Chains A and B, each alone.
Chain A
Amino acid sequence: MPFEELLAEDGRVEPRDEMPDAYRRTLVRQIAQHAHSEIIGMQPEGNWISRAPSLRRKAILMAKVQDEAGHGLYLYAAAETLGVDREDLLDQLHTGRQKYSSIFNYPTLTWADVGAIGWLVDGAAIVNQVPLCRCSYGPYARAMVRVCKEESFHQRQGFEILHTLSHGTPAQKAMAQDAVDRYWWPSLMMFGPPDDDSPNSAQSMAWGIKRFSNDDLRQRFVDMTVPQAEILGLTLPDPEIRWNEERGHYDFGTVDFTELFEVIKGNGPCNAERMAHRVKAHEDGAWVREAASAYASKRSSEAVA
């Protein structure tokens, strides 16, 4: 079926189907950026594996960071169905030609940040990603179904970390509040710029890659999160948050996107460190990857002989 008809019927585009080059390029960029975000996202939480305050929390955190590596694998595999390869995408990440989510350029300063990332950052990711399970490109949509299931598990774990802290000692509660204070606004920025300043959105909507606007998703996240903050007994750092009966939504303050644009430009608190960590891991592992492929080709030439 021709591409336009398939989209009109809300069908799924599969790897062998005809598709416009621009559609393919947009998907590669978006899926690669998503995969890169998963693997860079291992760093801020991985930062607390060695210091997790109980063995149970250590096990949960190790499993969570491992899940992120798994998400990276599904997503690189989805991107590969579009005719690119993982090595090449990693190279684009390492040379700064492809981006990852700016949220991972913020530091995890305390244990409560692990909870805040689970609750807020994974919560925002879920709101962004659930509609992607209906994305017009089949392999991406199917990868997102698995990712979303695991993300909602992570979000509950993050909530539970903060719930335990906010019902713990005064120092623990203060730690939880501080983490929420620092992660709230960056989480709202995860939905991207406001609709009237989002140049690629309209085309992505027309292609069925994007299903809802940035501002609609941001509102959905605020509506979901405010009642949860009340259960936690924590305050969101925005005095303008209040229920608006007429709109049927929570009103909230204006997001200051100048900070987001600085972080995207590379001036966030951890941009340089995240990239250096990633590039070092890749370079330090080069001899291992070379050895594995040398070994594999020796074996296959033996098999031929």
Chain B
Amino acid sequence: MTSADYVLGLADDALVSAQRMGWWISRAPQLEEDLALANIGLDQLGQARSLLSYAGTMLDRTEDDLAYLRDDREFRNVWLVERPQTDFGVTMARLLLFSAWQRELYAALVTSSDATLAGIAGKAVKEVAYHLDHASQWVIRLGDGTDESHSRMQAALDAEWPYLDELFEGAPELRPAVLARIEQVVAEATLAVPEVAPVVGGGRHGLHTEHLGYLLAEMQHLHRSHPGATW
């Protein structure tokens, strides 16, 4: 049987990532990209809502209870998605790692014996395939664009890479396929696969970076300021 904690992990990855993605709307390098990043954020938010509702059936709580009324020690997302991101190269590097992993994960979950999870995965796998394609194209363009974009894209990849390992906690079998896909994109982008040690993360156990507290404070404050209100 699927554990609520496992579902919360996937839900929180998607929710926290959507929250960071929402920042870009009105700040993207061009108007087409405002639309694309909003789309990706909306897909992630949709995944988060389905997963939170499912976890909520096991915990007798609503999606909003789980999103707005848990503290950071109760969140189960990986560190990759929670750190601030205001550089387009960083956002694309992160999305490449995240969506390459999500793509393999959801493709595997489609055949899960848990019918609810399989259903959510069936929808999500198509969405994250588009995210992966979008991120791949940008990493390639930026890597193989100008000298400046090449060095910025390499720096972004180096900065995100230490957070890749945490994604494989509990499911090491996904690693070869995810890495193969990422390395193919990195090569086409004329970039180097970073040689940096993984960070010791703890998101799946509720141990986070200092950044998550601020993200949640912003996301949750209005909801918490009016206990019991309907919106």
By a beta-carbon cutoff of 8 Å, the part of chain A in contact with chain B is: 39, 42-43, 46, 49-59, 62-63, 65-66, 69-70, 72-73, 76, 86, 111, 164-165, 168-169, 171-172, 277, 280-281, 284-292, 294-295, 298
Contact = CB atoms under 8 A, between A and B. Distances in A.
B28 A285 contact: yes
B134 interface: no
B27 A281 contact: yes
B28 A62 contact: no
B229 A62 contact: no
Interface in B60-77: 63-64, 67-68
A299 B110 CA distance: 37
B41 to A, nearest CB: 6
Contact of A291 (B145, B219, B231): B145
B231 A54 contact: yes
Given A55-B64, A62-B22, A298 B229 contact: no
Nearest to A288: B29
A295 to B, nearest CB: 4
Contacts of B226: 53, 169, 171-172
B45 A285 contact: no
A73 B32 contact: yes
A56 B231 CA distance: 9
Given A50-B219, A86-B31, A285-B29, 18 more contacts: A43-B26, A46-B25, A51-B221, A53-B68, A53-B223, A58-B45, A63-B42, A69-B25, A69-B34, A168-B230, A277-B26, A281-B28, A285-B33, A287-B148, A288-B30, A291-B142, A291-B148, A298-B144
8 contacts: A43-B26, A54-B68, A66-B38, A168-B229, A288-B88, A288-B149, A290-B148, A295-B142
Contacts of A287: 146, 148-149, 152
A53 B67 CA distance: 10
Nearest to B215: A50
Interface stretch (B46-54, B123-131, B175-183, B199-207): B46-54
Nearest to A46: B26
A116 to B, nearest CB: 15
Which secondary structure dominates where chain A touches chain B?
helix
Which secondary structure dominates where chain B touches chain A?
helix
B146 A291 contact: yes
B222 interface: yes
B209 interface: no
B34 A66 contact: yes
Contacts of A281: 26-29
Contacts of A171: 226, 229
A55 B52 contact: yes
Given A59-B45, A277-B26, A292 B145 contact: yes
Contacts of A277: 26-27
Contacts of A164: 230-231
Contacts of A57: 231
B31 to A, nearest CB: 6
A59 B42 contact: yes
A159 to B, nearest CB: 15
A58 B38 CA distance: 12
Contact of A65 (B19, B26, B49): B26
Contacts of B148: 287, 290-291
Given A73-B35, A291-B141, A291-B146, A49 B218 contact: no
A281 B29 CA distance: 6
Contacts of B88: 284-285, 288
